[in-house]
Homo-oligomer: A and B are copies of this chain.
Amino acid sequence: MSMIYRRVALIGLGLIASSMAHAMRRAGLAGEIVGTARTPATRAIAREDGLCDRVTDTAAEAVIGADLVVLCVPVGAMGALAAEIAPHLAPGATVTDVGSVKRSVIDAVAPHLPDSVHFVPAHPLAGTEHSGPRSGFAELFDNRWCLLVPVPGTDASATARLRALWEGMGSNVDEMDADHHDLVLAVTSHAPHLIAYTMVGVADDLRRVTDSEVIKYSAAGFRDFTRIAASDPTMWRDVFLNNREATLEILGRFTEELFALQRAIRTGDGDHLHAYFTRTRAIRRGIIEAGQDTDAPDFGRGTRKISAAPGAAPDPAAAHRQG
């Protein structure tokens, strides 16, 4: 793989930025990687680990001479960051971001940027529940989608160059409109996360079942919820506040459906339940066929069999769909 950008500035050094640093190095995609973060502790870790070629104390310094600037901060911090770096951006540079919401980021960032730079918003659909400069790894984006959301009038060659970077880091790349992105993500990610957070909170509140019982016997669906609900609180607060409309729409539909299923339980309508569960099972089948997950059965920790099928990795922690 050849170099795509001479100098990449990573602003904010959490899971995504640190994984980008590792992935760009793996494929030799960047001549120099400059990083910065708001807190001195994060910058100190990045320097100690050699995460970037150079760590600067301010975002303004980091972007000087960079032909790619990547905004890797929570969605709610994007606007102020754009205002801070705007005077220091090199003409012809591309500015991108990795935020989970696109319309509000575009609205917050675009007004600050000079006409001499390209703005190509992006969203890599990858992550773990861990955060911070030591949580990244080079393989995070492999075979995952990265969605580019170019605003109308964006220079096509700037978009193509950013696409090449993401492909070089292992991603598949698609383009879509910002509003559609925000709706798709509300369904596939934002609403599910809020639901998981809620369920974990309910369990904690229930005084007749002790926390230790919940924890001890949580090898069920609940355990997956806790993994989801362990994600970064600041990032997720900003996601919900900035994708408000789409998230509330999906949650409204969710509540409607949940009430219908609750009613079926209350009235003993087994046919309704069975038909619903049969339909959702078919959707899962579609996901496996689309190659987004594996059909390998789940195993208990430490007792995993490795399937012979290529890419069919067993899934220990998501195991135990028991009753």
Contacts and interface: CB of A to CB of B under 8 A. Distances in A.
Interface of A: 75-76, 99-101, 123-130, 135, 137, 139-145, 147, 174, 180, 183-185, 187-206, 208-209, 211-231, 233-241, 244, 247-248, 250-251, 253-255, 257-258, 261-262, 265-266, 268, 270, 273-274, 276-281, 283-287, 290, 292-294, 297-305, 310-323
Nearest to A300: B142
Contact of A143 (B261, B265, B284, B302): B302
Contact of A240 (B100, B192, B198, B273): B273
Contacts of A254: 198-199, 202
A138 to B, nearest CB: 9
Nearest to A312: B301
A279 B268 CA distance: 35
Given A139-B299, A268-B241, A284-B227, A222 B277 contact: no
B261 A211 contact: no
Nearest to A172: B216
Contacts of A140: 299-300
Contacts of A195: 195, 199, 258
B322 A218 contact: no
B316 A201 contact: no
A322 B265 contact: no
A298 B317 CA distance: 10
A216 B128 CA distance: 18
Contacts of A250: 202, 206
B297 A223 contact: no
A97 to B, nearest CB: 11
B293 A266 contact: no
A139 B303 contact: yes
A74 to B, nearest CB: 10
B144 A230 contact: no
Contact of A318 (B185, B224, B241): B224
10 contacts: A99-B323, A128-B319, A140-B299, A188-B214, A188-B220, A192-B199, A195-B258, A224-B224, A226-B287, A230-B281
A221 B228 contact: yes
A266 B137 CA distance: 36
A322 B215 contact: no
Contact of A322 (B125, B227, B277, B280): B125
Given A126-B219, A214-B188, A237-B274, A316 B319 contact: no
Contacts of A145: 216-217, 219
A209 B184 contact: yes
A189 B257 contact: no
A68 to B, nearest CB: 21
Most B C-beta atoms less than 10 A away, residue of A239, A262, A314: A262
Nearest to A303: B139
